[in-house]
Structure 1
Amino acid sequence: MRKKRTIPEAKAQSGFSLLEMLVAFSIMAIALGVLLRVFGGATRSARIAEEYSRAVIAAESVLDDVGVEMPLAPGVTEGRFGDEFRWILRIAPVPIPALEQQVRPDNAPLAGSPLAGLKLFAVDASVVWGEGEEPREITLSTLRLFNENPSGVPGRLPGGPFGPRM
């Protein structure tokens, strides 16, 4: 007589099945991809903001040089700050409508006028960078008043009607 073999009872399954592991790994990979994209976008935004800050500083530097190292005269001037930034300076005369009664046809004040020798200029400093990829540009604008007569109004002493300050 043969003994019947008994089949051992199925043990409770321990661990995860292959399908469960694949699903969990896929969810984790998608979540990681989204997180990397978010952090990459934030890093790119921070880099662009830093570039804009440096471009504003460069444009302010160009504006500061007008009338000191560069003449305050109508025209366009260009230059570079290193390899990264290119600047363009535009200076144009601005008519002063409120003072039109006191000026000659060439927009210069009448001789002896308290406005003689004064000229107003619009000054625009543009900075361009990133020409290979997405070119970016900022422009700062200001107005500058220029006195062609350094001593002020004709007949007056420098420093005001009473002469220079001591």
Structure 2
Amino acid sequence: MNAERGFTLLETLVAFAILSLSLGIILQIFSLSAQTSRSVEIQQRALAIAQSQIDQELAQLQLNEGEDRGRVDERFSWSSEIRRYQFPDQEGRINDQIQAYRITVSVRWDDSSEQALSLSTIRLQRQ
């Protein structure tokens, strides 16, 4: 008696179901990975723009209080603000010759208030 045994229809259906679920999960992982990678790339670009704007402000010999705005391309817009800064334990100037200024740069992308990044620094300046 030569009995050859193959897969039953039920075994084949279970194998296809497992394969389908596995492929669906793998595709979701790849999709999430691509979205995360794109999001990180955008945030790194925004960080580079903010750092560049702060560097430009720090390169000035004299800081003046005020605000400025601009666009880098269609996607990114930035705003900067320079204000006198008072340390929590100090009143007014540090001394008669030195004043602290806080520089804040915010970068937004996709014209959204939810998609934003801000950097701040403090610079001491002789008066």
Give the alignment's TM-score, normalised by structure 1: 0.62
Task: Kindly indicate whether residue 120 of structure 2 is the aligned counterpart of residue 141 of structure 1.
Answer: yes
Match of 1:31 in 2: 22
Task: Kindly indicate whether residue 56 of structure 2 is the aligned counterpart of residue 65 of structure 1.
Answer: yes
More helix by share: 2
Q: 1:46-125 alignment to 2 at 5 Å?
A: 46-66=37-57, 68=59, 72-95=63-86, 97=90, 109=96, 115=97, 118-125=98-105
**Do 2:102 and 2:122's aligned partners in 1 also have CA atoms closer than 8 Å?**
yes
Task: Kindly indicate whether residue 116 of structure 2 is the aligned counterpart of residue 127 of structure 1.
Answer: no
Unaligned runs of 5+ in 2: none
Higher relative CO (Cα under 8 Å, sequence separation at least 6) belongs to 2
More strand by share: 2
Alignment: residue pair count? 124
SS at match of 1:12: coil
Unaligned runs of 5+ in 1: 1-8, 103-108, 110-114, 149-166
- Choose from 7, 20, 23 the match for 1:16: 7
In structure 2, the CA distance between the partners of 1:45 and 1:92, relative to structure 1 (3 Å rule), is same
In structure 2, the CA distance between the partners of 1:100 and 1:74, relative to structure 1 (3 Å rule), is closer
In structure 2, the CA distance between the partners of 1:27 and 1:131, relative to structure 1 (3 Å rule), is farther
Quote the RMSD (CA, aligned, Å): 2.7
- Rg bigger for which structure? 1
